[in-house]
Structure 1
Amino acid sequence: MNDDQEPNTPNPWIRNMLIWAGVIIALLVVVSMFNSGGANSRATEISYSQFRDRISAGTLTKVEIAEDQIVGISSDGSRVVATPVGSDASLVELLESKQIEYTGRAPEKTSLLTVILIQALPFVLIIAIAFFIMRQVQKGGGAGGAMGFGKSKAKMLTEKQGKVTFADVAGIDEAREELQEIVEFLKDPARFARLGGQIPKGALLVGSPGTGKTLLARAIAGEAGVPFFTISGSDFVEMFVGVGASRVRDMFEQAKKNAPCIVFIDEIDAVGRSRGHGLGNSNDEREQTLNQLLVEMDGFEANEGIIIIAATNRPDVLDPALLRPGRFDRQVVVPVPDIDGREKILEVHMKKVPLAPDVSSRIIARGTPGFSGADLANLVNEAALLAARRSKRLVAMQEFEDAKDKVMMGSERKSMVMTEDEKKMTAYHEAGHAIVAVHEPASDPIHKATIIPRGRALGMVMRLPERDNYSYHRDKMYANLSVSMGGRVAEEIIFGYDKVSSGASGDIQYATQLARDMVTKWGMSDELGPVQYEEQADGYLGMGQTQRTMMSGDTSKAIDKEIRRIIDAGYDKAKQVLTDNEDQLHALAKALLEYETLTGDEIQAVIKGEEIDRNDKPSGPAITKPSVGAAIPKAGGRKGPFSNPNPEGA
């Protein structure tokens, strides 16, 4: 039973079963009434002459005489019935002569009410069944609706389902302040109407997945204390043309009855894409739904007191008519939180977890750049699960560090087995990344290096920026290219040209894409100049894909040449650094083979020739040869780790 369902409301399934049972019983009654007649309905009908012959033959033992028929009963209990011809006085004499018992039977009297009931009951049943079907049709698309395609699927949330306020939203102060005006309008509309001001009819929340767009919309409803309808953009579209438009109309009808209210449409790009793309009924249906939504938001009829809040992470594919003033005329960017925002978000989620005294939300926030609100919530949850598995009463800082490594680099895979040669190659590969990163001034500091398999990688070097970065400079890009080539160069220096493995496939892929972006998007090629040769594809080609603008064959060759030049420069830089510091490469690879995982400070100590102050010396993991084609993990989609995903085959 739902929270908002009345306690005495019967189950819809039981109610429907009772209705159908009543219909079946009524049909059986009608059939039995039409088939009534008792024993006579089982008698054999014969002619009157045959009936007299049976009396004469003495086969009948009893006769019942009525005005309209005569019934004869044989010795074996069988019955025959005949219709008399006129008034036959000789029949009685014949019965007496044969000494057959005979009785008279009064005609059956049928009341007027019974006649009316028999005649009217079939029509009453037909009307009742038709009424029942119509009620099912009018119930809409809910559980009880048989044909409710055109009804809205919007759900109204109440305080029983968890009230959310701005106190539960942290790390996005600018977006929260911009939406505070909507809350004030819903609380006191007359305050704005006195000066002729009109509140925006729609607010579009734009941000990456997991940044808290849905939570922010619920907080607005919780602060204003008004009904909150929620629906997904995909709930409007069906295979039948016109259904989505009908659902939009029905949704606004429900909203008008509960005004002032908030209607939240999540993932509006499912229905709000630019019109005129593609063919077929599916697009016709989506475009009709979008047209109806445009009219309802700002058409001839004003929907006062209804505020539409929508969320999407693809504002570039939305129809321009949807973003014009009068509709979604206010776009609120919900960004990935900075270090202060991450600290506040962590404090919100840590309230539900018993913490040890050594836990510092500021330190965790510094080590999680690029994390969204959902990522941070998952981090706190993973730490709590780790503490529970370790039978601890409090969640300590160690659990948060281990949870962060798990989220960013994947789970450890200590059950695998690998040969000593493969393990050694992995250690030198990761040491090559680390040495180049240490000697590149523009590179981010190393957070951790490991040769323990995590996720789909056999080892990786994780780098974290010292502060939040909002743009990348040319020197840092060249440093990243050099670091990405460090693993491949280390294999060549130590094992020779013929022993180079395919483990650098992920590094090469990253370096190639970075160099291509530098040339075609960011204008960082002196040969080609600040010209954009590639642009981000629209939503119809796929997320993250690129498409080239019109260019000549010579330009395309020049682009490929510049990409090769930039990558070769990074390769040469990495080779120079590792050749000049080969002793550091050997020392770091030896330390990785011994300890398997080193922090940034421990790597610095090894390079300086200092001893690592650690009491434990973990035993080497049993690692088996990985499957071919392992991919490089990107720590939850954030750039930084350069790993050796597969030293033997990629």
Structure 2
Amino acid sequence: MSKNLILWLVIGVTMMSLFNMFSAPMSRADKMAYSTFIEKVDGGMVESATIKENQVIGQYRDTSGEIKNYDVNIPANDASLSQRLIDQHVVVNVKEKDEVPFILSVLISWFPMLLLIAVWVFFMRQMQGGGKGGAMGFGKSKAKLLNEHTARVTFEDVAGCDEAKQEVTEVIEFLRDPSKFTRLGGKIPKGMLLVGPPGTGKTLLARAIAGEAEVPFFSISGSDFVEMFVGVGASRVRDMFEQAKKHAPCIIFVDEIDAMGRHRGAGIGGGNDEREQTLNQMLVEMDGFESNEGVILVAATNRPDVLDPALLRPGRFDRQVVVPRPDLLGRDQILKVHMRKVPLASDVDTKELARGTPGFSGADLANLVNEAALNAARYDRDKVTRADFETAKDKVMMGTERRSMLISDDQKETTAYHEAGHTLVAKYLKNADPVHKVSIIPRGQALGITMQMPEEDRFNHDKEYLRDQISIMMGGRLGEELVLGQMTTGASNDFERATQLARNMVTQWGMSDEMGPMVYGEREHEPFLGREITRQTNISEETARKIDIVVRQLIEENYDRAKKILEDHMDQLHLLAKALIKYETLDTTDIDRVMEGKEPVLVSGSEKPAGKGKTPPEEPTAKVDIGESGKENKPSDGEAGQAS
């Protein structure tokens, strides 16, 4: 804003100066006819005269005696005028023709063109974001050279990806002491690609490289190479590598490289667009005729499947470093990193939090700690407690509680029996994850939720575990049907997810004796949905009909199994539902006590501590269940617990 203000002030002052310079000679002078001028000279009214070729300017006295300026044009070679002025005792001056300086004349003649050029430069700078070097410098690289004082991050700030840190550490050691590796014939890697889901810490790991390496570090985004003009991106790639060669050995970090490294030939116009020319130049610079010794390119992306194969071959990105979602130990370490500046209460256990957040990325965990700190500040606490982290975890997973939502007693009872059905079936299945919490408080699009917390991270699932999951999904509808004798739309997402799970067991995972260990259907990436889907193509009608029969049998078997559990423990189903109607939220200890016919600890026990007399927030709930529109929200793969 200050730069724009100064620019317009300079333009305004320049325009005013030019205006005054050209308008001053013509101001405050009466244009007079030659005959009138002669009459005034003969009448003795002219006081002074300055003769300049065919022009006379000066002062005269009008009839009232007031002195005024005059300006009159005279005939050429009028020799008698000078004598006439002298005879009337007029002060006469003779002035030669004004010589306009050459520079000023050029400026006057070229002023319109210069003004147009200045306007063009101004708008070009605006379109190019004020690119380095002015309007003619938008082909220059926008890479930023970072030093050890620029937001320094070290490996101590990176947790949960030990293997990736080890790979990166080897590159840094290579830059510091190349002879350690070259003495055995090794060559410095030219490129390293950081691959992983969003939020796992790829950019943070690259910043840690800048903090640990004692070499120059250039940082740029893949979108900085893409411009509206063809050839600009390729020019910026060349300029970036030229700068890097001057500072070699050094590291170049390109974030979100898929913005300019997508597969060639996929665009409109036969592949001759700006992005593909930029990619071609990148390929040549990384492994072309010219040698770029000492320049290491580190890139990050969460879409390695769309990158051009030429970009991933040996000699360019020699190694791919996977930065996955952290496991239990990694989440524990990440939480400790983010809790360094957070005052914690004695009841906070990072291992318990890590166990209750499977599938969380590093960014999710950072958001969890921040939400817990905000919740503690909201209730004026001096320290962040376990209850704050539970509230934050449920808020991150499901959204804020909607306690202002008006729900009738009948709908509340239906939701309570639905959640009690999920909970009771999960309690009596040995392969199911333990139930962590159940609630009928609306959150987000859910009217009620049941959360299961796995005891450990699961990297694959056996057949019995998946069958138990289908039975648990059926428990919600059965809880409503067996007690209230009604069917609602609340179980629609339960059925949708159970059907998809059963179909995957039959068609993708070979868990059906009738269909055998075969895959029926092809997995395709749907660009508009942003995920992979399975299409049953190239199979006969008879096979498709048989698949439908086997899927239906699998669902009905587990439906009957869940129904038998609820019928055998109907008294406990009523106890859980009534406790939910009364207390709204039950955790794992409360559930066990209610099933034994005892009062929940949540009510009979002590209240959770609050700061400075404010009421503490209630114990949060977890996963998503019946949506407001009759649907349920489906949790993403790897999220904690089982959405009822």
The TM-score bracket by the shorter chain reads 0.7 to 0.9
2:144 corresponds, among 155, 170, 177, to 155
Task: Report the equivalent of 1:601.
Answer: 589
* Structure 2 residue 498 is matched with structure 1 residue 507: no
Q: Within 5 Å, give how 1:494-533 maps onto structure 2.
A: 494-496=483-485, 499-533=486-520
Native 8 Å contact 1:490 1:578 kept in 2: yes
1:260 corresponds, among 237, 249, 262, to 249
Q: Within 5 Å, give how 1:625-644 maps onto structure 2.
A: 627-628=628-629, 631-632=632-633, 634=635, 638=639, 640-643=641-644
1:544 corresponds, among 517, 527, 531, to 531
Distance in 2 between residues matched to 1:197 and 1:24, nearest whole Å: 66
2:290 corresponds, among 290, 301, 322, to 301
* Structure 2 residue 19 is matched with structure 1 residue 28: yes
Distance in 1 between residues matched to 2:27 and 2:596, nearest whole Å: 112
Distance in 2 between residues matched to 1:90 and 1:386, nearest whole Å: 97
* Partner amino acid, structure 2, of 1:568: E
2:394 corresponds, among 395, 399, 405, to 405
Distance 1:85 1:242, change over 3 A: closer
More deviation in 335-344 or 527-536?
A: 527-536
Native 8 Å contact 2:477 2:491 kept in 1: yes
Native 8 Å contact 2:427 2:434 kept in 1: yes
Task: Report the equivalent of 1:449.
Answer: 438
Task: Report the equivalent of 2:262.
Answer: 273
Task: Report the equivalent of 1:208.
Answer: 197
Distance 1:516 1:286, change over 3 A: farther
* Partner amino acid, structure 2, of 1:240: F
* Structure 2 residue 72 is matched with structure 1 residue 81: yes
Native 8 Å contact 2:499 2:555 kept in 1: yes
User: Could you report, residue by residue, the CA deviation over 1:96-143 in whole angstroms, capped at 9, with x for unpaired residues?
Assistant: 9xxx9463633203576x554654554797898799789877997436
More deviation in 136-145 or 291-300?
A: 136-145
Distance 1:295 1:489, change over 3 A: same
Q: Within 5 Å, give how 1:30-429 maps onto structure 2.
A: 31-32=22-23, 36=25, 42-44=30-32, 46=34, 55=39, 61-62=45-46, 66=51, 68-69=53-54, 75=62, 81-84=72-75, 101=88, 103=90, 105-109=92-96, 115-116=101-102, 118-122=104-108, 141-142=129-130, 145-146=134-135, 149-280=138-269, 284-429=273-418
Task: Report the equivalent of 1:433.
Answer: 422
Distance 1:91 1:538, change over 3 A: closer
TM-align CA RMSD = 3.8
Native 8 Å contact 2:507 2:521 kept in 1: yes
User: Could you report, residue by residue, the CA deviation over 1:474-516 in whole angstroms, capped at 9, with x for unpaired residues?
Assistant: 11111111111110122111122xx211011221221122123
Task: Report the equivalent of 1:566.
Answer: 554
- Percent identity over the alignment is 51
Describe the SS at the equivalent of 2:90: strand
Native 8 Å contact 1:462 1:640 kept in 2: yes
Native 8 Å contact 1:408 1:635 kept in 2: no
Distance in 2 between residues matched to 1:66 and 1:482, nearest whole Å: 113
1:590 corresponds, among 562, 575, 578, to 578
* Partner amino acid, structure 1, of 2:564: Q
Distance 1:402 1:321, change over 3 A: same
Native 8 Å contact 2:50 2:94 kept in 1: no
Native 8 Å contact 1:635 1:641 kept in 2: no
More deviation in 409-418 or 139-148?
A: 139-148
Native 8 Å contact 2:241 2:285 kept in 1: yes
Describe the SS at the equivalent of 1:538: strand
Distance in 2 between residues matched to 1:366 and 1:626, nearest whole Å: 27
Native 8 Å contact 2:50 2:56 kept in 1: yes
Native 8 Å contact 1:594 1:620 kept in 2: no
Distance in 1 between residues matched to 2:308 and 2:374, nearest whole Å: 44
* Partner amino acid, structure 2, of 1:606: V
Distance 1:459 1:549, change over 3 A: closer
How far has the Cα of 1:446 moved from its partner? 0.7
How far has the Cα of 1:147 moved from its partner? 6.4
How far has the Cα of 1:452 moved from its partner? 1.4
Structure 2: segments with no counterpart, 5+ residues: 608-616, 620-625
* Partner amino acid, structure 2, of 1:435: L
Distance in 1 between residues matched to 2:117 and 2:40, nearest whole Å: 60
Describe the SS at the equivalent of 2:94: coil
Distance 1:615 1:193, change over 3 A: same
More deviation in 575-584 or 463-472?
A: 575-584
How far has the Cα of 1:180 moved from its partner? 1.0
How far has the Cα of 1:638 moved from its partner? 1.5
Task: Report the equivalent of 2:614.
Answer: none
Distance 1:133 1:626, change over 3 A: closer
How far has the Cα of 1:284 moved from its partner? 2.2
Aligned residues: 617
Structure 1: segments with no counterpart, 5+ residues: 2-10, 644-650
Distance 1:83 1:534, change over 3 A: same
Native 8 Å contact 2:155 2:212 kept in 1: yes
More deviation in 439-448 or 146-155?
A: 146-155
Task: Report the equivalent of 2:623.
Answer: none
Native 8 Å contact 2:489 2:630 kept in 1: no
Distance in 1 between residues matched to 2:40 and 2:258, nearest whole Å: 95
How far has the Cα of 1:637 moved from its partner? 6.4
Task: Report the equivalent of 1:646.
Answer: none
Distance in 2 between residues matched to 1:288 and 1:117, nearest whole Å: 45
How far has the Cα of 1:380 moved from its partner? 1.6
How far has the Cα of 1:68 moved from its partner? 4.3
Distance 1:69 1:325, change over 3 A: closer
Native 8 Å contact 2:401 2:443 kept in 1: yes
Distance 1:565 1:291, change over 3 A: farther
Q: TM-score, normalised by structure 2?
A: 0.84
Distance in 2 between residues matched to 1:134 and 1:91, nearest whole Å: 54
Native 8 Å contact 1:409 1:635 kept in 2: no
How far has the Cα of 1:604 moved from its partner? 2.8
